[in-house]
Structure 1
Amino acid sequence: MEQLPYGNTILQELQRQIEGAVLSQRFIPFQTIHMHYSSLHRILLVGEGDFSFSSSLATAFGSAENIVATSLNSKEMVLRFYKSAGNSIFNLLSRGACVLHDVDATIINQLGIFKGTMFDRIVFNFPHSGFWGKEDSDEVINKHRDLVSKFFQSARMLLSCMGEIHVSHKEGLTYGKWNLVGEAMKAGLSLKDCVTFRITDYPGYTNKRGSGARIDDSFPLGECKTYKFMFTPAAFIEKELMLVREQSYCNAPQPQMWI
């Protein structure tokens, strides 16, 4: 067969692209992926009980330098009420995680420690406002909805433009009344995906009650889903413009102070 005159040129260009791709990989940090999370994601976890979920991610990644794990309770309460919390926290700290206590998930954007920080994943597993009576009463459901609504409003301020907010939640008629999707939409978030949550996907994780006499006990999960939310297109543009304005302000000449 007669060889096409431009055959060698195409092969040379293909070889150049392959060599360039291989070379570029040398400068990409090693990545470990576990379920919906990557070791390259900046991950914020709120509402941790005994820190076993964040500890499970840290073990899967091998390093936890990309993880910030927080609890509503103080350090003293966490260690007193959850017998396995000490081991989980030690695992996180020894792998480079940041562990914080007394962190209210509804006002995380107001905390000075997070100023200027954006996260690729913000995770709230099984949010619960506390035990106020029967779970199917309108009063209790409204308290839970208020919790997730304020969480979405606050978390969106710390979310990177292409980031995701993950909420794992029990399924069923009562829990559906929390209206996660509707509350997220009020915060400028849209549902990207909804996937089955399996506790076995996170070795070492044990779901815990947030309060009460049986605080160190697990609660029945049944069917659960992980809801993944992202910015709506309009909110995405708003976020981009906000970042541009902030960057312009930081780079602008500051007025001199005369003494």
Structure 2
Amino acid sequence: MEKEKRIKHYSSKHKILLVGEGDFSFSLCLAKAFGSASNMVATSLDSKGTLGIYYSRALDNLLQLEDLGCTILHGVDAHAMSQHAFLKDKLFDQIVFNFPHAGFLFSELSSRGIELHRDLVRGFMRSSREMVSEDGEIHVTHKTTHPFSEWKMEEIAKEVGLFLVNEVPFYKWDYDGYCNKKGSGSKCNKTFNVGECSTFRFMKKKDPPITSQVNNERNEYF
């Protein structure tokens, strides 16, 4: 049996789905820590053809991931991934979305911009809830200062039947080689200061057992 290898919250024994990967540097960081990426599926919204245009290191990162056995999917919409032909019948121990962002159509300070970002996170969480294992976790890494705090991650999670397990401070230096990207238009390949941010770890709310519901109904008659 292979020895388990870990990096922060992630283990080589976990089945991990990474969403919105940009230049795939976070996926590659995990894969190198594990010595293999056979337990990982890494996805992006971009097509493979556009990645080389948008991100300077993406194609090299993809080649390394492929050599390490990673399954890579392009054109995956975070809102609809539970219906994706490859993903729809699979369950994951962890589903990860780092710094989700709906683009710069509106100012990040505006109410319309904030609601667009909230819609992105809501769709991701709703889709992820169908794909995470019973005791698995959904991770969203996100800035915690204003205006990003106005996204209200825990509130969105409750809407879709998730609960916050904990909120862990995120430090970029914990993930050697990870380079966060803006991921929008001409700004795609630019990085940004993550500042104060956390990884929010969510799990599914469990429905009460059917037997308990039946017993409660019976007790009403006595």
Partner secondary structure for residue 136 of structure 1: coil
Partner of 1:89: 62
Runs of 4+ displaced beyond 2 Å: none
Cα deviation per residue 1:160-198 (whole Å; 9 max; x = unaligned)? Answer: 000000000011121111111111111110000100101
Q: How much has 1:53 moved relative to structure 2?
A: 0.2
Distance 1:110 1:217, change over 3 A: same
Matched, 1:54 2:27: yes
Of 110, 122, 130 in structure 1, the residue corresponding to residue 95 of structure 2 is: 122
Q: How does 1:19-168 map to 2 (within 5 A)?
A: 28-168=1-141
Partner of 1:251: none
Higher strand share goes to which structure? Answer: 2
Asked which structure has the greater CA Rg, the reply is: 1
Cα deviation per residue 1:204-245 (whole Å; 9 max; x = unaligned)? Answer: 0000011121211101211110000001232x869xxxxxxx
Structure with more contact order per residue of length (Cα contacts < 8 Å, sep ≥ 6): 2
Counterpart CA distance in 2 for 1:72 and 1:115 is: 17
TM-score by length of 2: 0.92
Partner secondary structure for residue 114 of structure 1: coil
Distance 1:47 1:227, change over 3 A: same
Kindly tell me the number of residue pairs found equivalent between the two proteins: 210
CA-based RMSD of the aligned residues comes to 1.3
The residue identity in structure 1 corresponding to 2:77 is D
Partner of 1:206: 179
The residue identity in structure 1 corresponding to 2:40 is I
The answer for unaligned runs of 5 or more in structure 2 is: 211-222
How much identity, in percent, do the aligned residues show?
A: 46
Partner secondary structure for residue 138 of structure 2: strand
Counterpart CA distance in 2 for 1:87 and 1:81 is: 13
Higher helix share goes to which structure? Answer: 1
